[in-house]
Structure 1
Amino acid sequence: MSAKANILAKLRNSLAGTQPVTDDYDVQLVTAPWTYPASERITRLRQLMEAVHTETHLTTRADWPALLERLLAERQLPSLLIAPATEHGAQLDAHFAGREGLPRLKAYDRPVEEWKAELFNDTPASLTGTLGAIAATGSLILWPDRREPRLMSLVPPIHFALLKASEVYDNFYEVQQKMRWAAGMPTNALLVSGPSKTADIEQVLAYGAHGPKDLVVLILEDA
């Protein structure tokens, strides 16, 4: 018998004659303190996110493209990376279509190996959707997929994120229950509370070391 098999056999035998501990876990312990009236969720989310240098804006499904256009102009950004196969990517593409003097929309529509240098060196900003947000921790929920890969929210220095107000949840437990993560965990779910930051031994805080240095969240109040 191998050493590994021997260890596993001892672990199995150690359970002989024992009984499982009764599961008397009280869900209220992790939900009740972190539950908010619907009218306060957005306010709390914004307060927590802005406290860690995230920029937030309230807008609507119809108005967010114009708001994003203004924010791009204020930052003098020459281009924006989008996922054209998504609903929001198509909406922004239609808003920009046929107009002069606007930032160029780059489509993430090919393998990263084909344009890695451009992605990392010449893509100043990106736009992605979100799966929702958590009011208790001030966090966005990102769920990258083939249309909107993880690199879209990780590589460009500025990350614009769209969030539906109706998808702001009280706490992480509620997210797991409503999205039924126990039945099928996502392969790459991310909780993002602010721009990338790190500190050295002298406690000097620097932004953008491991990802975007700026995070801008557009909250759609009617969605």
Structure 2
Amino acid sequence: MSARDRILAKLRAARPAEPNALPDLDAHYTPRVRGESKAERLARFRTGIESFHAEVHISSEADWPALLARLCADKKVATMLYGADTPAGRRLDQATFPATTLRPWAGQVEDLKADLFHRVDAGFTQTRGAIAETGTLMLWSSEAEPRTLSLVPPIHFALLDAATIQPTFFDVLRTENWAAGLPTNALLISGPSKTADIQQTLAYGAHGPKELVVIVINAEGDAQ
């Protein structure tokens, strides 16, 4: 008998007669979030993402563009790139941003590369939701709002609806029905970019945004 045959024989002998039963994921995850309110879910998310050096600001549906303008002015953002053909992008008016030039996304990455890496100070995106357990944002890129907006500029501003915060990643998979289809690229973001590759020293912004700023809307109330 060859070495290969001996190894395969051992594997076959160790194989259980009956396959192990799949775990009951609902039974596992439900006790961890039972009775959790929207406010509690937001608090968990905020604690998680702020621990990864992100900023979180609470605003309203009516006032978030003005808050974004103030944040841009405070951070001396000269140019912000955004997806103009999105629900949030259509809310942005240059008149509200006297200190910042709003630049709609247009063209291909190859044509914008020099500006993206050298002249754009911030990118603004919507979010699809968030995960409270890990303090993570979810973004689904699209032609109108490509992933480049959140991955390249030094500052990433993200708009999050508190009603879309899910307790766990399992709840995201089930509620969003990811099994039925995913976008070409789904982004999970838990803070600004960071690396410890160089001399094991943690550095922010080495491969992407140095700052992540989250504006949360619809945080009022205690609905589930």
The farther-off stretch of 186-195 and 34-43 is: 34-43
User: Following superposition of structure 1 onto structure 2, how do residues 58-97 of structure 1 map, counting pairs within 5 Å?
Assistant: 58-93=58-93, 96-97=94-95
CA deviation vs aligned residue, 1:100-144 (integer Å, no higher than 9, x gap): 833110111211222221111110101100010000111000111
Aligned mates of 1:148, 1:75 — CA distance in 2: 23
User: Following superposition of structure 1 onto structure 2, how do residues 94-105 of structure 1 map, counting pairs within 5 Å?
Assistant: 96-97=94-95, 101-105=98-102
SS in 2 for 1:113: helix
Q: Once the 2 structures are TM-superposed, how far is the Cα of residue 33 of structure 1 from its aligned partner?
A: 2.7
Equivalent residue, structure 1, for 2:123:
126
> Percent identity among equivalent residues?
46
For the aligned residues, what is the CA RMSD? 2.2
**2:140/2:183 contact within 8 Å kept:** yes
Aligned mates of 1:139, 1:36 — CA distance in 2: 21
Matched, 1:217 2:211: no
Structure-2 change in CA distance of 1:202 and 1:102 (3 Å): closer
Q: What letter matches 1:92 in structure 2?
A: L
SS in 1 for 2:184: coil
**2:33/2:167 contact within 8 Å kept:** yes
Aligned mates of 1:29, 1:174 — CA distance in 2: 12
The farther-off stretch of 136-145 and 24-33 is: 24-33
Aligned mates of 2:198, 2:91 — CA distance in 1: 45
Aligned mates of 2:214, 2:34 — CA distance in 1: 22
Structure-2 change in CA distance of 1:218 and 1:100 (3 Å): closer
Q: TM-score, normalised by structure 2?
A: 0.84
Q: What letter matches 1:128 in structure 2?
A: T
Q: TM-score, normalised by structure 1?
A: 0.84
4+ residue runs of structure 1 moved beyond 4 angstroms? none
Q: What letter matches 2:104 in structure 1?
A: A
Gaps of 5+ in 2: 1-7
SS in 2 for 1:37: coil
Structure-2 change in CA distance of 1:101 and 1:34 (3 Å): same
Structure-2 change in CA distance of 1:101 and 1:182 (3 Å): closer
Aligned mates of 1:51, 1:75 — CA distance in 2: 21
Q: Once the 2 structures are TM-superposed, how far is the Cα of residue 23 of structure 1 from its aligned partner?
A: 4.0
**2:124/2:156 contact within 8 Å kept:** yes
Number of matched pairs = 205
Equivalent residue, structure 2, for 1:32:
31
Structure-2 change in CA distance of 1:109 and 1:47 (3 Å): same
Q: What letter matches 1:76 in structure 2?
A: K
Matched, 1:21 2:13: no
Q: Select 1:113's aligned residue among 86, 110, 115.
A: 110
Aligned mates of 1:89, 1:110 — CA distance in 2: 17
Q: What letter matches 1:121 in structure 2?
A: H
Gaps of 5+ in 1: 1-9
**2:69/2:97 contact within 8 Å kept:** no
